[in-house]
Amino acid sequence: MLAAAARRVRPSVTVSTRVSSRHIAMRASIIDAHVHVWPSAEDFAYEDGKAPPVPGAANELIAAMDANGVRAAMIVQPINLGFDHTYVERALETHADRFVGMCLANPSAGDAGVEALEKLLAGRFRGVRFNPGLWPNGKGMDGEIGRKMMRACAARTPPAVVGFMCFNGLDLHVDEIRALLKAEPTVPVLIDHFGFTKGVDDPNFELLKALGRDFPQVSVKVSAHFRVRVETSDGGNSTATQLRELVKVFGPHRLIWGSDYPFVTAEEGGYADAVRVLERQIGDDDPALLANIRGDNFLRLFPGALGEA
């Protein structure tokens, strides 16, 4: 059971699929730690091949959040907008009590990219996404520019959070991540979407857990379940099993839920199902753990971001 993993005081049992009325009421405190927003193709000149696959206007996200009892969300700058943060900045300004921002690092710009990051962090953004695919060929994230960007994050009060998106495999970049963690131990780090590991038998899942054991500043987004869910031999839910194992390593306070809106709206059940997924996986077994992963841990990682003292 997830509660047992978190507290290590009682035997493990099967993850519950029950959803109680108490969980419905708890949705008022939910924070979605991974969403994107973008303008329509009529309102923005997208580069060829980068037009959004689904609608993602900020006002539509607010409506979806309100319909599902989601209090707030963190907008991650989407790749289809490149390094033009104007639309996201406008959303952050318009809905300052509902949105927190994570910008996108531009390492290909060199020192100019570092300066751009410093300006964004001095504004409304509280974190930055490191996408290793954006680093120039032959350059690792732990090179000079990546280290300067990490220092820029460490210089903020509180330090800005760095999110790593290892879409092509954690093993390709884990040494770089480790080097940056050692270089700037005060910078909190988020690993996106279960580290893009697919099931507990994925070799990269062990690398993810090792990061949790070795670096207390690392948290994991248990987000975008639809991206990493795989069939299991026993017919079980692979992300529920991963969640149990991650709680054993990261504990109850270093796991954070996110939906990957609006991409999730194209999946069966849409956004509403993404909001409920942890209710099914944790059920009535541990309401405190559910509250931690779906909101409280975010507030710890981003103190004051939503006006809390």
User: How would residue 237 be classed by pLDDT, with cut points 50, 70 and 90?
Assistant: confident
Asked if the model's pLDDT at residue 74 lies above 70, the reply is yes
The answer to whether 27 and 69 are in contact (CB under 8 A) is: yes
Give the CB-side neighbour count of residue 261, counting CA atoms within 13 A: 32
The CB density around residue 280, as the number of other CB atoms within 10 Å, is 16
**3-class SS of residue 15:** coil
Residue 219, strand partner residues: 190
Share of the chain above pLDDT 70, in %: 90
Amino acid at 242: Q
| Structure tokens belonging to residue 91 | 């959303």
User: How would residue 10 be classed by pLDDT, with cut points 50, 70 and 90?
Assistant: very low
Lowest model confidence (mean pLDDT) among 111-115, 151-155, 279-283, 301-305: 279-283
Residue 102, strand partner residues: 76, 127
Asked if the model's pLDDT at residue 22 lies above 60, the reply is no
CA dihedral 120, 104, 101, 148 (to 10 degrees): -50
Provide mean pLDDT across the span 137-164. Answer: 97
Asked if the model's pLDDT at residue 21 lies above 80, the reply is no
The per-residue pLDDT for range 77-125, each reduced to its tens digit, is 999 999 999 999 999 999 999 999 999 999 999 999 999 999 999 999 9
pLDDT, position 162: 98
The per-residue pLDDT for range 210-223, each reduced to its tens digit, is 999 999 999 999 99
Peptide bond into 188 cis (omega under 30): no
User: How would residue 283 be classed by pLDDT, with cut points 50, 70 and 90?
Assistant: confident
CA angle at 96 for the pair 92 and 98, rounded to the nearest 5°: 95
Lowest model confidence (mean pLDDT) among 142-151, 226-235, 252-261: 226-235
What is the value of pTM for the model shown?
A: 0.90
The answer to whether 149 and 128 are in contact (CB under 8 A) is: yes
H/E stretch holding 164 reads strand 161-164
